[in-house]
Amino acid sequence: MSLALVTDSAACLTESLVRDRAIEVVPLHAVPAEDGGHGTTSRPSVEELAEAYRRAAQRAEEVLAVHISSTLSGTLDNARIAAARLTDEHGSTGQGGTERRRRPQWLRVVDSGTSSGALGLAVLAATRAHDARRGAALAQASTARSYQYFIVEDLGRLARSGRIDRTTARLGGALGIRPVLALTRDGIRAVETVRGAARARRHLIEQAVRAAGGTALSGPRHPADPVRLVIQGDDADMLEQLETDLQEAMEEAGAIVTELLTLPIDEATRTHVGPGALGIAVAPDLRSH
């Protein structure tokens, strides 16, 4: 049995990872504002998704699509329509014909419940599988125990797009207040608020260390199982410093980090978080299980 993976650009995977793992990526679209203000985004069309699934079906017996959380985007709705269309095409081809063999015997669409680095790690986890059932199980096991934290310089973009609630949005009006945000299956929420950019970065790291099971921290802790990390940002110097500080904090806290990836921020996500955003994703290293 062979498996082909499809995801969307919200997974923020690098070109080398996409090429090496033979992953099909469907772009979410960033739409510039006509008046020069903040732009918007749009989901991939049904046809774009169907074409990606068709391409994946040419090289594998099964196709697994792992997409951005349905709480953040309508991509999953279009993905399910596209999957149904492809399934109908598969059923209408002749028995035993070449065209039928090219169609997937099983096309599965999964709502990851997350986005960005956590989505990227889930997709990479699924590439270890040889069939869609196992791939979906790996992706869901990753996201079920993953954490996506981030900070932004301006909450206004997230507020205008409806991705944060009014209470969280109002924090952006308080002088110097920087909330540490978490992406959950129910959407984006503030896990704590601090004053100042430097303190926000420190607390971002502390949240990630706690999620990774660091034993030197106070408060509730998760078991210190091996984890994979992703850091993201659009400032190279700030990312380098974040990586150094994060590695030191993880080591000091006794967390078991098997891999740390630096991933870009895709254009659609950047539209909503704005410049200067920093993110850290923590997910279990399922390769150790």
pLDDT at position 116 over 50 = yes
- Residue whose pair of structure tokens reads 């797009």 in the numeric block: 161
Q: What is the pTM of this model?
A: 0.91
> If pLDDT is split at 50, 70 and 90, which confidence band does 242 have?
very high
> If pLDDT is split at 50, 70 and 90, which confidence band does 168 have?
confident
Task: Select from 3.90.105.20, 3.30.1180.10, 2.60.120.10, 3.40.50.620 the CATH code of 147-288.
Answer: 3.30.1180.10
pLDDT at position 6 over 90 = yes
> If pLDDT is split at 50, 70 and 90, which confidence band does 162 have?
confident
Torsion of CA 136, 81, 111, 99, to 10 degrees: 20
**Would you list the domain boundaries of the chain?**
3-144, 147-288
Angle, in degrees to the nearest 10, between helices 197-211 and 236-253: 40
pLDDT digit string, tens, across residues 186-222: 999 999 999 999 999 999 999 999 999 876 555 555 5
Would 3-144 and 147-288 be classified into the same CATH topology? no
Q: Which of 172, 167, 180, 176 is nearest to 156 (CA)?
A: 172
Q: Identify the architecture of domain 3-144 in CATH.
A: 3-Layer(aba) Sandwich (3.40)
